[in-house]
A and B are shown apart, each in its own frame.
Chain A
Amino acid sequence: MRLTDEEKAMLDGKEGPAVQKAMDLLVRYGEALGAEKLVKTNNVSTTVVSSNPFMRDFTNKYGFDATFSEFNLDSQEVVEIPTVKTHSCQLITSLDAEHWETLGVSRDRLELTKNQEIYNGNLGIQLMSTCAPYQVGNVPVKGEVCAWMESSAVVYINSVLGARSNVEGRESTGAAMLTGRIPYWGYHIDENRLGTDLIDVEWDVESMTDWGLLGYYAGEVVGERVPVLSGIHHTPNMYRVKHFGAAAASSGGVEMYHIPGITAEARTVEEAFGKNKPQFSFKFGKAERQKAYDHLNVSARDTNVDFIMLGCPHASIEQVWEITKLLKGKRINSSTQLWIFTPRAIRQLADRNGYTKIITDAGGVLMSDTCPAIGQVLPKGTKVVATDSAKQAHYLPAIMGVQTWFGSLEDCINAAITGKWSGDLR
């Protein structure tokens, strides 16, 4: 890989040991990719919290610099971490400090999280603490070079906004924050952003559920290629494309897609493909929609629902509002729990609008900063979950060993009120 003089100086340790380790990792990673060079970036979304039990033990034993060195730089030598060079934000974390008791986490874990937050804030990392930073102030512009983790966020900023990022990992974003560099590879290169596969959408996709099913189907059939959707007649709002991308990045590895006339880089199908010929063509009709629904509900058998999870990726204020319209004046069943997840900044807005009160009065909890899959937390005794998120329905059975129903928001609220799943694909 070709390095500039400035990059060579970083590799030689001229900017200290942490930057040296960061550049060393970027060189190993870039060479593994077969990248020819690095590119400058000033927008990094990352995670620097100890989110799983293994990492928490590590942090308790060795401290925050050691955790950053090992898990964010792949350095077994502990280096002192300086202030970050780039605009950087923290993605979703493992707990909501306001609701730690409801989440059932220990006081030790709360203290560790709080102390780590102070450490991270001092490094200059914006503590947005959400999987959807584009909802709360980190909105990259078209063409902006980014180094982001969080597959659902990367597919959003690439496709909807036209920013440029690969799905980075914890170590590469750690290195990017300290160097302002990331390998020039994949979606940083124009031709890789063009469509590869055509999905002819025959079903009239409009609801959030249908956008999730379409995304889940798209990920299954295209894997990590770039789908182009034709036949979309209703312009989706932000939360629909948020749901679509998250689903496609769960069943497959979709990091970029085009909806001609709607997403940032293609006005027409021809423009979406550019010089490419479609490698494969698929259709999304009634049968494919049903198949995606069945796949998402593969773990679910028991219609007694213990727990309803909403807000994956983190709910927008519009979604919170829609939830409150269904919940107002209602009371959830005594055998169920309802947790709704949103970024903390949006929760403050919900507090101000009176939405939090409506949710609380109904017996639900509006949480921020985390989600059940990332925090690995569920209400005690949960065996059966219902969610309106394809991503959460994909991951929860594997991560938490629970049955999970996937359906519409209305189906989920209904289950919260009755304690029974009666959802179906309509």
Chain B
Amino acid sequence: MTTDTKKIILNGRKIVGGCAEGEALVTRDTISGWGGINPANGNIIELRHELYGQSFKDKILVFPGAKGSSGWSTFFHTSRLAGTAPKAMLFNVMTTKMALGAVVTHAPAMTDFDQDPIEFIETGDWVKVDADNGIVEITKKR
């Protein structure tokens, strides 16, 4: 580790257990499932979305929460079966869409953080998620 590598720890509540690590993909926009993502490649397809055209496949997805159609869970469920799901999901606002979607995606998921993950995590940061113990460790990319 170089001396300028900074680590940040966040604590939160487990939604789906397990551990994962990977590169973060962060957005301040809520995400739609049906009409918002393409489960075939994990791309965000909503036209005015900040992440339009980017894929969450194998990323640690950090976002405010879910919006839109009740197809949310089905689309994230399908992304799991298609092998394009995020490695983990960290979010702020709990809704039924969000909870069910996280549960059926099976990837580690957390919410109710002591500090806002969207403030502390930037796209490209390396993030370790230990949902069982409610811990997120962030290594800044710079």
Can you list 13 residue pairs at the A/B interface with Cβ under 8 Å?
A32-B100, A34-B94, A150-B69, A167-B97, A168-B70, A171-B74, A171-B104, A186-B96, A224-B93, A250-B68, A253-B30, A373-B35, A398-B46
**With A32-B102, A54-B81, A224-B67 in contact, do A169 and B96 touch (Cβ < 8 Å)?**
yes
Is A170 in contact with chain B by the CB < 8 A criterion? yes
Is B77 part of the binding interface, using a Cβ–Cβ cutoff of 8 Å? yes
| Interface class of chain B by DSSP | mixed
- Which of A58, A171, A172, A295 is close to B48, meaning CB atoms less than 8 Å apart? A295
| Contacts of A82-101 to chain B: CB distance below 8 A | none
Q: Give the residue of A32, A74, A148, A298 whose beta carbon is less than 8 angstroms from that of B77.
A: A74
User: Distance (Å) between the CB of B5 and the closest chain A CB?
Assistant: 33
The smallest beta-carbon distance between B112 and chain A, in angstroms, is 8
**Distance, CA A172 to CA B95, complexed state (A):** 13
Q: Say whether A141 faces chain B, with CB atoms less than 8 Å apart.
A: no
Nearest Cβ on chain A to B46's Cβ, whole angstroms: 5
A58 vs B34: C-alpha distance when bound (angstroms)? 18
- Which residues of chain B from 70 to 123 have any CB-CB distance to chain A below 8 Å in the complex? 70-74, 77-78, 81-82, 93-97, 99-104, 109
Besides the known contacts A33-B96, A250-B68, 15 further A-B residue pairs in the complex with CB atoms under 8 A apart: A54-B81, A55-B78, A151-B68, A154-B70, A167-B70, A167-B96, A169-B71, A169-B96, A169-B100, A169-B101, A171-B73, A171-B103, A223-B30, A224-B93, A253-B66
**Distance between Cα atoms of A299 and B45 in the complex (Å):** 13
Chain A, range 153-178, C-beta contacts under 8 Å to B: 154, 166-172
By the criterion of a CB under 8 Å from any partner CB, how many residues of chain B are at the interface?
40
Whether A169 contacts B102 by the Cβ 8 Å rule is: no
What are the residues of chain B within 8 A of A394 when measuring CB–CB? Answer: 35
A398 to B31, CA, bound (A): 13
Instruction: Tell me, yes or no, whether A211 is within 8 Å of chain B by CB.
Output: no
Chain B min CB distance to A30 (Å) = 9
Q: Are A253 and B70 in contact (CB under 8 A)?
A: no
Cβ B46 vs Cβ A223 within 8 A: no
Contact B45 A168 (CB under 8 A): no
Q: At the interface, yes or no: B15 with Cβ under 8 Å from chain A?
A: yes
| Chain A CB within 8 A of B61 CB | no
**Top 5 closest pairs, chain A to chain B, by CB:** A169-B73, A395-B35, A149-B70, A32-B99, A166-B96
Shortest Cβ gap from B30 to chain A (Å): 7
Interface string of A394-420 (1 = CB under 8 A from B): 110111000000000000000000000
Contacts A169-B74, A169-B101: A399 and B94 contacting too (C-beta < 8 A)?
A: no
Residues of chain A contacted by B81 (CB below 8 angstroms): 54, 58, 70
Interchain nearest-CB distance for B77 vs A (Å): 7
Band of interface residues on A? 35 or more
Contact bitstring B42-78, A, C-beta under 8 A = 1, else 0: 0001111000000000000000011111111110011
Bound form: Cα–Cα A150–B70 in Å: 5
A172 to B96 alpha-carbon distance, docked (Å): 9
Given contacts A32-B99, A398-B47, contact A252 B67 (CB under 8 A): yes
Task: Given A167-B96, A171-B77, A186-B96, answer yes or no on A249-B68 (Cβ-Cβ < 8 Å).
Answer: yes
Decide: B73 and A170 in contact? CB cutoff 8 A. Answer: yes
B68 to A33, Cβ gap below 8 A? no
Chain B residues with CB under 8 A of A295: 48
A45 CB to closest chain B CB (Å) equals: 9
Decide: A28 and B36 in contact? CB cutoff 8 A. Answer: no
B16 within 8 Å of A (CB atoms): yes
Known: A74-B77, A168-B70, A170-B74. A298 touches B97 (CB 8 A): no
Least CB distance, A171 to chain B, in whole angstroms: 5
Q: Is the CB of A71 within 8 A of B70?
A: no
Which residue in chain A gives the minimum CB-CB distance to B49?
A398
Answer yes or no: A52 CB below 8 A from chain B CBs: yes
**B79 to A, closest residue via Cβ:** A54
Q: Does A199 contact B (CB under 8 A)?
A: no
Q: Does B40 contact A (CB under 8 A)?
A: yes
A25 at the interface (CB under 8 A from B): yes
Considering the chains assembled together, what is the distance between the CA atoms of A399 and B47 in angstroms?
10
Q: Tell me the minimal C-beta distance from B96 to chain A in angstroms.
A: 4
Q: Given A34-B94, A395-B35, answer yes or no on A29-B67 (Cβ-Cβ < 8 Å).
A: no
B39 at the interface (CB under 8 A from A): yes
Chain B neighbourhood of A55, CB < 8 A: 78
Q: What's the least CB distance linking B66 to chain A, in Å?
A: 7
